Each structure stands twice: as C-alpha cells, then as structure tokens.
Structure 1
Amino acid sequence: MLNLNSPDDNSNRNSLQDPISLNVGGEIYTSTLGTLTRCRDSMLGAMFTGQIPVLRDDRGNVFIDRDGRLFRYILNYLRSSSLDLPYGFSELTLLRREADFFQIRPLLEEIHRYELSVPLSLRGGPLGAMLMLSVDSKVRVLHFNLRHGPENYELRTCSVQAFTADLFCTWRAFLVLLCERFSYRTSQGLTSPHLCNPRQNRLKLEWVPRPDELPQDQYNKQHYRGLMVSDPEVTQSDDIMNMHRSGCEITDMQGFVEELLKVSFAEGFKVDLVVPDPAEILNCTSLRLVKC
C-alpha cells in the first residue's frame, strides 16, 4: 500500500531526516537529504524540500515509480558529481530518459559529453543485436463531400496511401530510442508511438500523409495521422512538444527507411540483408541490420 504525503503535512516534513530510504521501482536505496537535494531545481530537489508530495510504501520508504536499476547511476552522480558507467554500458538511452524525468540538467550534459566521447560500438547495445524491418503500403480511395454553401455540396474522390512499418529488435533500448525520434501528428497535436508489447521487443508504426486535395477536416474525420521525425539535436527538450518542433514529416516509405538507417548507423548497426534488391535499399520490403 502506498501513502501520499502532502507537502503541507508537518509530520511529512519532520519525517524527512537522514538517512532517507527510497524504494525506486522495487529497488531499495539509502541516502541523505544533502545528496538528494544537491540539484535544488530537479524533481528530487523538489520532492525532498517539501515542494511536491511524496509517496511511501507500506514500510515507510519514499516510493518513486521509475527504473530501480538505473537509479543507482543517478544517485552516484549526485554523490560524486561524476558520471561513472561500467565498460560497454548498454542502456545510455534509458539513462538519459531517467535523467530527463528527474530534470537533473548537469547529468544530462554529462551524458551528452559521454555520448560524444565513446566509440559507437561501446555506446550501448550488445554486439550482434538484430533489427528487422518489414514495410507495407496500401492505396485507399476516399469519397467525401466538399461544401461550397449551405446546400451546395460537391462529391470529391481522392487517393491516400497508408504506410505500415513493423520493427523487431533484440535490443529493446533501441526501440525506445525510435519512440523518442519519431512521433505521430494528429488533430490533437504530437504524440509518441509506443512499443506494441515490451516483452516481444516490437514496434509498429502506421501513418497516412495528407494529400493536398484532401481538406484537413476530412483528413481528421478519418482519424488519420502523419509521421514526424525529430531533430536529434533537440531530443533533450523539456517536453515532447518542444522535442519535435523542428522535425519534418515523413511522406513516403523511402523517407522512413532513410531516417531509420541514419538512426541505426549512428548506433553501430550495419546492413545484413535487403529484400528484394540490395541495390535499392530505400525501396525494400524487408530489411535486417546487425550491430557490429
């Protein structure tokens, strides 16, 4: 059972005394208020200075619903102001996400410097990790009424192309990275795709670019969505909306495959198999890459 303590609760403020026990995603840690509040403008700083409420588990530990294994690197950075990662650390993308969640700006800067200094083959992911892509596209004919006046309608017809990209990767963190790099453009704004089933390490992307002859309201009525790719230089912005403002739209499958290859090559993947024609990789129907 979890108990919510309000920052206005005097007993809660009094209970925040050294040492502090934390339950982060099931992993138990012990630290001090000085360490946890070292970055005063971070989420941890706000939690342990009483600015926002904290949850407690049934044993009285402060509970944080985040990745417990990766929190050790967060805590060690706060203790020493140094990012110390083991050789061949394979979860840098996930660690960056955790640092962003806790809003520890100096740590995000350290992670960025680490990424630039470490060879691609050591940045993350096991050697031999496999990425498989299957793509498909279908043309759909859409009929709609174009209104010219109160009782003046014109029947219009246009074709839209629906794209599907089905990805499987043995390195789950890479699929998480793709969820950060690509986003859906809908009538409600930009949203991130999600893994179909985390246990299956599978990501499925489906999108329909809007042709010029299809009015926006008719496009929205069909619940279609576009696909955007973000600028990797702004993936550490405050929120997902800012993260994709400088992105561009993917309007065909060749554009998607090209962007996927850019991300894959940057993470150390190499092309292993192209179907049907290796010479026409951007027009492939399936693709296999292996991390070297």
Structure 2
Amino acid sequence: MLNLNNTDSNSLQDPVSLSVGGEVYTTTLDTLTRCRDSMLGAMFTGQIPLLRDRRGNFFIDRDGKVFRYILNYLRSNSLDLPDDFKEMALLKREADFFQIRPLLDEIRRYELGPHGAARRSAVLNADADCQVRILHFNLKRGPENYELRSCAVRVYTANVFCTSCAVIESLCARFSYRAQEKVLAPQPSQGKPNYLRMEWVPRPEDLPQDLYEKHRYQELTVVSSSRIPDASTSSGIPDTRTFMEEMLKIAMAEGFRLDSVFPDPSDILNSRSLRFIRY
C-alpha cells in the first residue's frame, strides 16, 4: 500500500531510501537534488508530494534497474556504462522523465563518440533456403487396414549473422517456434552470439497432425507484439518470401539500409540472401 506524504524539504533526513520500480536504493539528499531544476530536485525539495511504500521507502514508479545509472551520474557527474550496455533508449527516456538535462547532454555525447558509433555501426546478413523432402507414412484406415501415403515436406532454413549481438537478441525476441502447443524462442548458435540459425517446417495439409509432431517438426512464427509470444500474438512464416519480408521490416526498423540482394537485385522478396549495413 502506498501513502501520499506531503513531507517538506526540512523534514527529510539522510540517508534517503528510494524504491524505484521495486529496486531499493539508499543515497543522500545532496545527490538527489544535485540538479535542482530536475524532477528529482523538485521531489526532494518539497515541490512535489512524495509517495511512501509500506516499508517507509519513498516510491517512484519508474524503471528500477536503469535508475542505478542515473543515480551514479548524480553522484559522480560521470556517465559510466558497461561495454555491453543495451538499454540506451530506455536510459534516455528515464533521463528525460526526470528532466536531468546534463545527463541527456552526456548521453548524446556518448552516442556520438567512439562507444556509441561502435555500438551502432553493424553489418547484417540473412540467407534463406528450402529443401523439399518426400515423406512416406502409413495412414490407418481401420483396425488392420493401413494405406501407404506420401507427401512433400518443405524444410526451410535461415542463417542470420550480425556484427551486433543486440540485433541477434532482438531477432530471437521477434521470431518464435511453435510445436505441440508450445512456443519457444530461437537461440543464437552455441558459442557464437553473432549467429542465428532457424529451421522450420510448415505442416502440409495432407500430413496428419500426430505424424507432424512425431517427426518433431515445428513452425516458425513472427511475434507481433512485445508480449510473451502465444498463438494470439504471432503469425506463421509459410515460406522464404515471407521470412525475407519480415527481415526487411526488422532491418529497416533497426536503422539498416539494404546493401545487396542475391541472386536478382530486382526481386528482393524472392532472394536467397540479403545484406544490410548500418552506420
């Protein structure tokens, strides 16, 4: 339960405990009011009413994990991020919410510097292929009546390489496998975080569902939202053309531009290989 606390600045004492999105931090008033014209400055100088949780911590309903970088900036006046930091957009949004303008300026300088350039520049390759296999199976017609049937099974494979591991991770979140009412996310190749291989088999109409599952075939779907993928948030990828179309959408959304198409540059969606670059 949260309680509205009209505490003025004179009643606040060090140390100050904050619960930001459930993450608890302990700091000082001097740190929180370092930027007096920020949202935090207004909160802890009595200009904005404060909320307390049941444990007495001041509560702020924002992202708790990213707040550590905001708090460290206020402590040291330096933006210190790990080399593999991948939530810059979220950090910018939180810094903008708290209206810490010096931090926003520091983030812009960081993005324009060697760290940001290295993180943004990337090459992305996507290859797709299809092999047709003839599957023979017995179809039960009665207690002792079996009929030999055959059907064509199309096995699709896609190999994706990107110099940015963050892009591979976003692809793993965008695509998913669906088999036996289970939804699983694809994973980068073991020991190779820059590589992603996907293999899927759409079920032919003349192949019974139980036989499809017996051969451990699985469909590939594209997740249409940021929610946990399920049947209502994803749609199937029936062929390489649809896969390439999705790769185009994803690459453009990630800031890439198309660099080369193989084999026919005039027929992008029916290509076997696409190469993208991002500066």
TM-score range, shorter chain: 0.5 to 0.7
Q: Deviations over 1:37-96 (max 9, x none)?
A: 3334xxx47xxx9xxxxxxxxxxxxxxxxxxxxx9734246899xxxx89xx97238979
1:39 lines up with 2:21 in the alignment: yes
| C-alpha displacement of 1:251 | 0.3
| C-alpha displacement of 1:124 | 9.1
Q: Scaled by the length of structure 1, what TM-score is found?
A: 0.60
Structure 2: tracts of 5 or more residues without a match: 1-14, 25-52, 54-63, 74-78, 98-107
Among candidates 260, 266, 273, match of residue 273 of structure 1: 260
1:221–1:131 distance in 2 versus 1, CA, 3 Å:
same
Aligned equivalent of 1:5: none
1:173–1:200 distance in 2 versus 1, CA, 3 Å:
closer
Checking the alignment, whether the CA contact within 8 Å between 1:185 and 1:225 is kept in structure 2 is yes
Rounded to whole Å, the distance in 2 between the matches of 1:167 and 1:262 is: 15
Checking the alignment, whether the CA contact within 8 Å between 2:168 and 2:193 is kept in structure 1 is no
Q: Deviations over 1:87-125 (max 9, x none)?
A: xx97238979xxxxxxxxx97xx7xxxxxxx9xx99997
Which has the larger displacement, 262-271 or 279-288? Answer: 279-288
Rounded to whole Å, the distance in 1 between the matches of 2:259 and 2:246 is: 17
| C-alpha displacement of 1:286 | 1.6
Q: Scaled by the length of structure 2, what TM-score is found?
A: 0.63
Query: What does 1:124-163 align with in structure 2 at a 5 Å threshold?
Result: 126-163=119-156
Structure 1: tracts of 5 or more residues without a match: 1-31, 50-70, 97-105, 111-117
Aligned equivalent of 2:196: 203
Checking the alignment, whether the CA contact within 8 Å between 1:274 and 1:284 is kept in structure 2 is yes
Rounded to whole Å, the distance in 2 between the matches of 1:75 and 1:279 is: 49
Rounded to whole Å, the distance in 1 between the matches of 2:138 and 2:67 is: 56
Query: What does 1:127-276 align with in structure 2 at a 5 Å threshold?
Result: 127-199=120-192, 201-231=194-224, 234-235=225-226, 237=227, 239-241=228-230, 245-276=232-263
Aligned equivalent of 1:92: 87
| C-alpha displacement of 1:145 | 1.2
Structure with the greater alpha carbon radius of gyration:
2
| C-alpha displacement of 1:135 | 1.8
Checking the alignment, whether the CA contact within 8 Å between 1:93 and 1:177 is kept in structure 2 is no
1:127–1:77 distance in 2 versus 1, CA, 3 Å:
closer
Aligned equivalent of 2:12: none
1:77–1:200 distance in 2 versus 1, CA, 3 Å:
closer
Bigger helix fraction? 1
Q: Deviations over 1:212-236 (max 9, x none)?
A: 11111010011101000011xx21x
1:251–1:291 distance in 2 versus 1, CA, 3 Å:
same
| C-alpha displacement of 1:240 | 4.1
RMSD: 3.8
SS class of match (2:213): helix
Rounded to whole Å, the distance in 1 between the matches of 2:152 and 2:215 is: 13
Q: Deviations over 1:5-50 (max 9, x none)?
A: xxxxxxxxxxxxxxxxxxxxxxxxxxx8933x3334xxx47xxx9x
| C-alpha displacement of 1:154 | 1.3
How many percent identity over aligned positions? 38
